[in-house]
Structure 1
């Protein structure tokens, strides 16, 4: 069941921008923003966290060539972006001039740069399509002074461009179409051939086989969506979906589904309140969710800042939250995390054109830390499991049941918020503790008597081996004997009072030394500027810190011991890298890291 679940405003106002999804984040690059002052700047990068539902703007990068081939692209729209491994490749676009320079964005380092390429570079253009198959990026169509239908390929393993000499009947020249990879085939839909007011708009599907470089002949579908351009396209479970688009200044907000197996279209009606008619939106797939944002209604209006999420498989939890929001139900009795999620779903962002780069809320760091902690704990539970306590043989089954009952009473008392009921549970716990102690003494007495009888039988039979074994069991582990204490003359002290007095003398002399006769001269350290790296945290720094942790230490409130982190420093570094840099950028520390753990050590009273 398709369902529109979230609608939020307050993001960057952009249209015809480029965006990719990387794990639980969306990265948006550039786009048309109506204001000329903004368009004359360097390309900006906005990040949307799909967990906290917050936008942030990355700090601007200096323009220049101080870092090898570093060069930040200027603001533009009509360009494309694709993700290959951990690198986003940006190409083409337009703002007063057309572009054909390839730029790359390192997702881990948050760095834009210009890689060196070779081969046959495509002509400058915008409103083309780009899609990925393996490590290759395919570029098709687009426009500059005219319109084209050529196809290019960039092999990112060698960074070589090549023009594809296609076979078969190619699609007509167009721009603003979509190209989507399903399997090894590229499906091209829509587009316009002569401009947005007087051109021809296409509504047919054309299929390109990337293995044979053949434009395949395709059957005609009976039911077709209207012709359009600047629509959004994505795939889910091997089927192609399109949303929105524009034709002759008339925009759409319908969702269509195309099945490659039957080569047929079907109009889809998602549940919930979806976006209005829109063109130039970006869409990204995150799990079972499609996230659409940006775009504009027509060529005259300002780009929008809203965001919508289309859920292909909404969970019962999601549906319940939507019901709470729809009917305005009371949230006071809900768990804290559910209330936080409801606030995130209904609160608009406040991050338009924010250049500070800080996150609008602290929930992102909290949620990311929760995901990291969950991955550590769940991995340990699956691989190691919990330590099983050894059950002593001499304790009877009814005694073990009494112990379990006492444990349940303690847990109920700890969870009870009411003081009077909490006191009742405490009294029941004390009564159950007396029963446990009584039964334990009974079992211990029975166990010792049985061992004594066995020892008596073994002694009568002169079975020294069994007699020694039984005696060892009764005696228990060997107790350490305190070391002897001697006085200054080397004489052994046997009385406890004499030993304590000797210890007093020792520490009095040790801790009450006279000051040194010669005071050392310590020269003042010259005031030098120390070179301290205040940039983002590197993976090497995290790995070194993990290796320096002391093993065998008790875990804190997160139940993660240093031994877990040191088991695989490389994997731990990958898990913590994004979290620690997020904390460094936002200066927000997870609440759990500020919580101390106080452990009471009960001691027996002196009689």
Structure 2
């Protein structure tokens, strides 16, 4: 029957138990990390590239959308690009349409928001980002000071700017946690256990939510619920319904204690 706690994935390195190469990954604690089955014929290089794209999918400065001016510019750019895609979306198959829409959103994010220069938490506000830039300028003023008096003054300004950055980051994180706690309370009151579970894992910093389209063995996207459930059934049948081993282990019966 196979392992009852399979870690579905293409990367099986460093594990001692036998796992099925059916499109899943191992977690830090060796638990099962189930995701939709991958298409047949996916080699290791393709799987690594796909995981790399997931890890770097959030490369734009989404925190800038909290600024009303940036948000309005973003909406206007999306609206203009959607109008130019109307003729293309009326033709072609679903995969082509999806690629066009994906390219539209990706290009808009890069043009309006810009790429991140460093790894930044998405809950950091635009005001904090501006304060970080001010602190960076104060640090440069210290390095460019030519006299001791000027350097001492620049050092005081840098200390004040650094204190302002830390306080702003602390405020942003507190607001972020409080908002998540409020969402968790609402989800619990509504009986939405999935949302409550996702929020709990987010607060624990041990979970990254990723959504992938289900595909059949030929790599075609499955859109209907019936086809997706059928593919999941096929996936677990192939995973768990395995033939018995050719050389079954010879396990001696346990001794009776009483």
TM-score (norm: length of structure 1)? 0.15
Question: Whose helix proportion is higher, 1 or 2?
Answer: 2
In our comparison, the structure showing a higher alpha carbon Rg is: 1
Question: Whose strand proportion is higher, 1 or 2?
Answer: 1
TM-score (norm: length of structure 2)? 0.34
